[in-house]
Amino acid sequence: MNSPLLSVVIPTWNRARLVCEAVDSALAQWPEGVEVIVVDDGSKDNTADELARRFGSRIKLLHMPHRGGIGAARNTGVSQASGELLAFLDSDDLWLPGKLEAELRVFERLPGAEAIVSDSLTFVEGQASDRSRFAVNGLLAATHGQVGWLSDCSWLWGHWKNTLQIGSITLRRSTLARLGEPLFPEDLICGEDWAPEMRVYHECRVGVLPEIWSHIRRFDDGTRPGRACPGKPATMAQRISVLRDKLTILEQTLKLHGLRAEIATELELCRFVTAQQLAGCERFEG
């Protein structure tokens, strides 16, 4: 493939069936114009064989000799990307037909946009949520349901509840130099996608597309070690792990140069609350 329009990185681990569904949804976006990079993060099942059988040369399949975690897998994929645009899709998620075309219309409508964020709908064990991600985190209300600039929204992206799904973010690959390396932290169990998301909002001109173009699917399939299974309460150890990673991301984001005052204030509030919660959990655990 010469000069693909979009490179999509799909990390996977022991998800032979689900990852093929994700790949199908990515390839369907733009025939001959999408570079699909699947990073097999040391799977022990038949994931790699199934991907090779189903897709052959239509995808770029990278093999990690040992499991390095989702952050390392994504970074490996990014290093091989050659498209004008770059996006990420988890191996249990799906893009709806027409997502890329809708994003391209927004890039055309908003000259200078370096990234586009779109809405998503979450499914837990096949059951759809009653509200989309934008409806839950307030971005739907902030945009009034209209395409526009994130910077024009009264939306505090520094709050931990205002995160988006990584599969809902498409950015120009040319922005990577400003976002820094590695793009994804490789030492976090949770929130490895939140850290670069915060940098994208701070460093880039971001357009908002308040339409659902991604289905975020959650399954209790044993592929989320260290994190609570969907729909099940977290153990104390899992809560502590999440809070530690969240605190790390908040502290790192607070160090970004030139944060808007209202964002810095929100980040500091979230950092303080997270530190208090972590201390309480550690006392309980101890």
Give residue 58's Cα distance to chain centre: 23
The answer to whether the beta carbons of residues 6 and 35 sit under 8 Å apart is yes
Can you read off the two tokens belonging to residue 152? 């024009």
* Dist CA 59 CA 283 (whole Å): 49
Integer angstrom CA distances of residue 107 from 52, 54, 112, 266: 34, 32, 8, 29
Can you read off the two tokens belonging to residue 122? 């979450």
Integer angstrom CA distances of residue 286 from 6, 104, 237, 283: 49, 52, 11, 5
* Dist CA 140 CA 155 (whole Å): 10
- Segment-wise mean pLDDT, segments of 10 residues, the chain, 286 residues: 88 94 96 94 94 96 93 97 97 97 98 97 95 97 97 94 95 95 93 95 98 94 67 86 96 96 97 97 86
pLDDT of residue 225: 65
* Dist CA 246 CA 270 (whole Å): 9
pLDDT of residue 189: 87
- Using the structure block, give the residue that is written with the tokens 């980040």: 267
| The model's pTM | 0.94
